[in-house]
Amino acid sequence: MKNTRLYFLLLGACLLGASSCTKDTDPGVEFPPSVSCALTSSYAKPVTDLEGTIEFNQALQQYVISRHIPGTYDSVDIGVLCGDLPDYLKTAGTTVRFSGTYRGYGQLPPSPAAPAGTTYYYLELSKIAKL
């Protein structure tokens, strides 16, 4: 009888210990609807749960999210952010998962020179989380 109690206690301790070992994940930051930085753009493409990389674009002097298009070897979408990133994400090379709306990139300022296959968009974020 004593051995049975001991086994149940050990089993309970193991279950409690195992359940406390969960990986901390970034819950993400929700962005409230804001005034668009691309008000004159007629093009809009909603995006949901895409993976990208935070970069600081020297030509634009601001943070962008770069996303490689799966199934291609040279196609990249660059999302020029409407608004500002949270401080903890302002590190070049940070991988993120994001949702929002791509809008046509206007002429002011003109898109920087980029390799073939690179497309610039304004990016209105609705959610972003660090991976």
Domain boundaries, the chain: 41-131
What is the separation, in whole angstroms, between the first and last Cα of the chain?
49
Stated pTM of the model: 0.73
- Reduced to 3 states, what is the DSSP secondary structure of residue 110? coil
Among 5-14, 53-62, 90-99, top mean pLDDT goes to 90-99
| Integer CA distances (angstroms), 56 to 8, 10, 89, 115, in order | 55, 52, 11, 17
42 or 81: whose pLDDT is higher?
81
Distance CA 26, CA 96 (A): 10
Asked if pLDDT for residue 22 goes beyond 50, the answer is no
Q: Looking at the domain that runs over 41-131, which CATH code has it been given?
A: 2.40.50.140
pLDDT value for 5:
55
